[in-house]
Every structure is written in C-alpha cells, then in structure tokens.
Amino acid sequence: MRLLFLESNTTGTGRLFVRWAQRMGLSPLLLAKEPERYPYVRDESLEVFRTDTSDMKALIELCTLIERDGGLAGITSSSDYFIATAARLAQHFGLPSPSPEAVELCRHKGRQRARLAAAGVPIPAFHLVTERAAAVAVAAQLGYPVVVKPVTGSGSFMVRLCRDGSEVGAAAGEILGREVNERGMPLPRELLVEQYIQGEEYSVEALGCDLIVGVTAKQLGPPPAFVEHGHLFPAPLPAGQLDALREVTCSALQALGLTWGPSHTELRMGPQGPCLIEVNPRLAGGFIPELIRHTWGVDLVEQSVRFSAGWPLDLRAPTFAYGAIRFLVPDAYGRLESVEGIDKAATTSGVADISIYYPNGTHLCRNNDFRDRLGHVLTTAASAVEAGNAANAALAHLRPVITAEQAA
C-alpha cells in the first residue's frame, strides 16, 4: 500500500515522514510540482510523480491510477501550504483525514480569528484589512505596538512588530505588494493588524482534540521579526498555568472543528492569562517533534503517519526528561564558507543532535523568518535549567564563516 505525500517540508520533518512510512511497511510516494526542491528524494530512493499539485482534477485522476495500481493507505502532507488540498483529496477517496473545511478555516488567519472570537476564546484584538491606509488607521485605534502579518503562511513569514504608523505602512505595503509566497504560491491581498500581547510565548502540541502531548516554551529573536531562536520542552511552568494553556487550546480546537490529527497551537501568557495567537492544523515545525522524541520518547511524526494511514496511535509511557533546541542564526549574511566548532560542540554534556541545514558555498540572505536559521543544537538533561544551559554552551562553539558578497 502506498502513502502519498502531497508536496512536503523540503527539509526537517519532510524526510522523517518518509522514513516512518517505510518503517511501517508502507510505500511512500511524493507528488510534487518541483521534485528537485526535495534533497532527500535521492537519499531515500523516494518514488516521485511530477505533477501540478494545485490542479485538483489532475490530482484526482493521478491518484485514481495509483489506487488501481497498488492501493492507497492514505494521503497527507507535512507542508502547511498543502495540508488543505491533501485533506480534500483524502476525503475524495474515503481515506483518513481532518475536516477539509476546518483545515481551510485554520489556514486563513482572519477567518480563524473571527471563529475563535465568536466562540469566546481569548485572542488579541484584530482587524482584517486590504489596503495600506486602512492598516495604518486601525493600528492607531488598537494602540501601539501592533503586529502586522499575512493572512496565510508559517514560519514567521513577513510577520512584523510595528511601533508607529510608518512601520505599519511599510509592513503592510510589503505584504500587499507581494504576489507569491516563498513557495511561489499566490498570496491573498489581505493582512491582519492585531494587538501585541506582552508575555512569554508557548505552543501546545496535540494529537486530536482531546490528547494534549505537551507544552513547549519558545525563545524569540529580537524584534521587529518573530524568528524563533530556541525551544524548551516541556515548558517549566506551574501546573495551573499549564492547565490554562491546555484548556484554551482544547476550546479553540473544538471551536474550529479541528478534532482529528496533529495540531500546533501558539499562545502567549498575557497579563490576563493565556491569549491564543494562532492554531496550526499540522505538526509543529522548528524540530519540536524531534525535541519531544529525544526527551519523552514520543515520536509525533510516527503518530502523524499512523493517523494518515488509519492506524491506531502507539503512545508509550514517556520518559520525563527536559530538552532544549537553540538555533544558529548568523549575524551577517553572504556566502557560507564553513561552520567551525561542530566537533567541540558535540562534546558538550547533554548534546543529542547537531545539524547544519546548508552546505558550504550556499548563498545566505536575511529573510527575517525561519529561513534565517542556519542549524541547531539539541540537548537533553534532568532539568530545564540544565538542558537550556547545555544548549547555550554547545551553540557558543558554533562559528559560521561567511564571506560578504559584492553587489552586482
């Protein structure tokens, strides 16, 4: 039986999804418009069909042929941009999937906000606008600072903290002037202007509506961007605050109809308690699944594949340790010559994994989103403080050597 991946994450968990399908005795098959985007296709000997993944009619015809040729166990995607299409395709063939309507609702941050507000879930005050002048006007009404973001996207893509009207105008102009995202997909000419919530940021990882796996503490880089520089799991919070984060998350999932499959919900612990920032109808990015696997022994990628193939979940008793990820974010950009100190970082106590995402010779540029991260270190320890300290110590050994490039 084949497990179809409709596009995928080009790095990180994309490869892990393929490997878990293989371990479960399934035959993974990637449907992609540009298979060359996926460096692990050759490494994993992954079967690929090149097709227009935005054409539902063509996808149905292709999947019908694949089903006749050997059967379909499931259809899914690890990519935020294709999960709604994958859900509709799976539903068409009677395969396990989340509600396509719920996924599409979540994918549009404005519509998601409206549904959550109607259900009484605590969220920031917000306005959905389509013009730059309107963005500036509503920002003044909300009071500075505000957050300006596209209505679709992930990985902090084009999300900005703005402290005055000129910054709002610039951020809104950038979003409205952009026709496609980083995957070349059309962008709606809409944006959100929302209240900035002061407080620490967390995410709640869930499998289905009622199974909360755990809470992750986030470490963000400097404003105005919201690039994640690190994670800590499980979040070292008092039981009452953990319960409050879980309760808000469960209420949001119920309100959105997202009762099946993995989800990643981001919140801030504001002055009045948890405030929900957004619900993502997919597994967490930023290597959070790997962090949880190393610390608790629960593999969320495996469970996601089981969901998609219609298999029961296999949740063993967790091994309660703490884990931390710190991302390598360079101060300068240009041509990556090398990353020094990897061997020394690897000898730091508690290090479980070190990964550099780009080969030497890659031309790096600042994007102010997840693409700014060059690599990571992952550590485990008996306490949150020890795990965080070990990650910081290991990261300090990594020194990217980058040559500034001359302007053409």
Q: Per-residue pLDDT tens for 137-158?
A: 999 999 999 999 999 987 788 8
Q: For the chain, which residues make up each domain, given as ranges?
A: 2-97, 125-195, 321-408
Which two structure tokens, joined as six digits, stand for 164? 């005055």
* Whether domain 321-408 has CATH 3.40.50.620: no
In the predicted model, is pLDDT for residue 407 greater than 70? no
* Pairing label, strands 200-207, 262-270: antiparallel
H/E/C letters for each residue in 84-141? HHHHHHHHHCCCCCCCHHHHHHHHCHHHHHHHHHHCCCCCCCEEEECCHHHHHHHHHH
Question: In b/e form, how buried is each residue of 95-124, taking b as 16+ CB within 10 angstroms?
Answer: bbbbbbebbbbbbbbbebbebbeeeebbbb
132 is annotated as an active-site residue: no
> What rounded mean pLDDT belongs to the chain?
93
CATH number of 125-195, picked from 3.40.50.1390, 3.20.20.370, 3.40.718.10, 3.30.1490.20: 3.30.1490.20
In total, the chain counts a number of residues equal to 408
Residue 296: name the closest of 218, 392, 202, 387 by CA.
Answer: 387
- Summarize pLDDT for 6-22 with one digit per residue, the tens: 998 877 788 889 999 99
- Summarize pLDDT for 313-372 with one digit per residue, the tens: 988 777 889 999 999 999 989 999 999 999 999 999 999 999 999 999 999 999 888 889
Say if residue 100 is preceded by a cis peptide, omega within 30 of 0: no
| pLDDT grade for 406, boundaries at 50, 70 and 90 | low
- Summarize pLDDT for 172-217 with one digit per residue, the tens: 999 999 888 767 778 889 999 999 999 999 999 999 888 999 999 9
Which helix (DSSP H) or strand (DSSP E) does residue 302 occupy? Answer: helix 300-309
In the predicted model, is pLDDT for residue 164 greater than 60? yes
Say which DSSP state 220 is in.
E
Amino acid 408: pLDDT: 45
Q: Is the pTM of the predicted complex or chain greater than 0.95?
A: no
* Annotated active-site residue in 282, 306, 326, 373: 282
Average pLDDT (78-100) is: 94
Separation of alpha carbons 402 and 396, rounded Å: 16
- Please tell me whether residue 257 adopts helix, strand or coil conformation: coil
Amino acid 153: pLDDT: 81
For the domain made up of 2-97, give the CATH fold.
Rossmann fold (3.40.50)
